[in-house]
Structure 1
């Protein structure tokens, strides 16, 4: 079983380096940091590092370790919450002695010497808690810092327990994590506190969005618009769910213009969108994905493909209901 293999590998190696995906969200950092805290609490003599670019907006969760290339020699490398290798933050993950993948996305890239992939899990943070439970008899220890990080990851990837990925098991794990005395109120405030410029851009989006008959909505955040509202491309992740409660909305895409590409943040309330994302240099979950394109002409092509998926979904639903 992958879980027992992962536990044995953690016990075997003296150096462990943990990666996650680029442009991290709370689950990426929560699972990465939570796993680091568990290993350090369990085996104080091991050297454990969490690597990748720091995200200033999420520094209240964890800040990254900065290590030299030679640290990877004879090290165990674990990659959390990353479906495919191009999305791994810091390509030095290949320099280690052994590679483990822990992920909950649909399987698109079977990399790693050991793979634990569970698309039914709400988050990788949930999976890391399951790893801890399985390894308690092997010496794994939970502490307040790890519990806080894993809880943040679960809250983030379930949309505060609102997304369909939330299961009875998710609630059970959350209930166990909150028995540790971290500041839940402070954590929520840090996760969802909103800067005024983000709120103003959100207002612009709500005033200008247009819903197509197919149930698709696209929002173009050009460099000029981002500059006007003083919002960075990375910060647009805080805006992507603003359209989720609109009646008739089936799927929506945010096109974010950067210097050398157009990034797409994609969400759905039913249609499976990850295949569309995969066609455009991306991927993710059936209801939450990302992609990237190189021109506004491609944006039109992407929109047509997204509309086709939504129309097929509507037809299938009509057929099921009749």
Structure 2
């Protein structure tokens, strides 16, 4: 695949519909809507839409479009930041004429007519900026709002440039993005401001997490605890890194009850965890992954597997 092929394909279509993964994070929205804004700035006569479920906590970044099935006819569909097709938000992605995948996760699903997969990139937003850099001589233009979105996506997926995925290229792109006109202070405030209920849950986690001699740490958040602190099942994911600075922790997992399943968020400082996540209906990056458990009994199995992984490290 070449970035030129993606750009030339974009030029060929009058209607372009951009998807991303379910439960969007800043990188999913930053790459999805950042790409839309670049295409709008570059080719103003094209009709470009972004689709998927709204994430209330991230509407300050962007809002989704509502479109009809008929609009997919003869459309180009682009999916950003999504490793496997079951996680694509809005299953109409296969109604278009051609499908492009742009992603930085380990390859687990080779969907799409054109695929650009780069596991060395810090984020999908970094990849979209790289696409712009490559395409400046081919007609691509950057806008202030596209820069805001891509910068927000990079910041979100690098943990404010603290994760190992951050490279020299990441810093170079970020430096170029901040030359555009947007309020970085406001962006950071919106990305990292917490409700008091979430801050109190953070205190609960710090008081109740378990840590084994091998360096694995876990916290269980059943619905009773979520209700006590008045938080939704999605909220704990925003503070997953609360344990990252605790001495002795090699890898940690949150187990959050949501409906009939238990969502599992796993992070690591060293042990590779994405294969463990894949074992339990999940996947992701080597140091940041997600999975699902069908019962609290299965949670105990995941805890044991995580501890064994830390012992091997």
Could you tell me how far 1:303 is from its partner in structure 2? 1.1
Shift of the alpha carbon at 1:160? Answer: 0.3
Gaps of 5+ in 1: 314-322
Deviations 1:119-153 (A, max 9, x none): 00000000000000111111110010000000000
Q: Distance in 1 between matches of 2:310 and 2:100?
A: 36
State the Cα distance separating 1:191 from its structure 2 match: 0.4
1:246 aligns to what SS in structure 2?
coil
Equivalent residue number for residue 125 of structure 1: 125
Structure 1 runs of 4+ off > 4 angstroms?
none
Distance in 2 separating the partners of 1:281 and 1:159: 25
Q: Could you tell me the TM-score, scaled by structure 1's length?
A: 0.96
Aligned to 2:230: 230
Match for residue 22 of structure 2? 22
Q: CA deviation at 1:77?
A: 0.4
2:98 equivalent to 1:72: no
Is structure 2 residue 193 aligned with structure 1 residue 193? yes
- CA distance in 1: counterparts of 2:112 and 2:311, whole angstroms: 37
Residue range with higher mean Cα deviation, 278-287 or 1-10: 1-10
Unaligned stretches of 5+ residues in structure 2: none
Matched, 1:32 2:32: yes
- The separation in 2 between residues aligned to 1:49 and 1:260, in whole angstroms, is 33
**How far, CA to CA, are the matches of 1:33 and 1:50 in structure 2?**
7
SS across alignment from 2:252: strand
**What residue is the counterpart of 1:115 in the other structure?**
115
Counterpart of 1:94 in structure 2 is 94
Per-residue Cα deviation, 1:33-74 (whole angstroms, up to 9, x for no partner):
100000011001100000000001000000000111111110
Q: What is the CA-CA distance between 1:2 and the residue it aligns to?
A: 2.7
Q: Normalised by the size of structure 2, how large is the TM-score?
A: 0.99
In structure 1, the partner of 2:253 is 253
Aligned counterpart, 1:280: 280
- 1:306 Cα deviation from its structure 2 partner: 1.2
| 2: CA distance, partners of 1:154 / 1:275 | 24
Match of 1:296 in 2: 296
The count of aligned residue pairs is 313
Which residue does the alignment assign to 2:180?
180
The CA deviation at 1:205 is 0.5
C-alpha root-mean-square deviation of aligned residues, in Å? 0.6
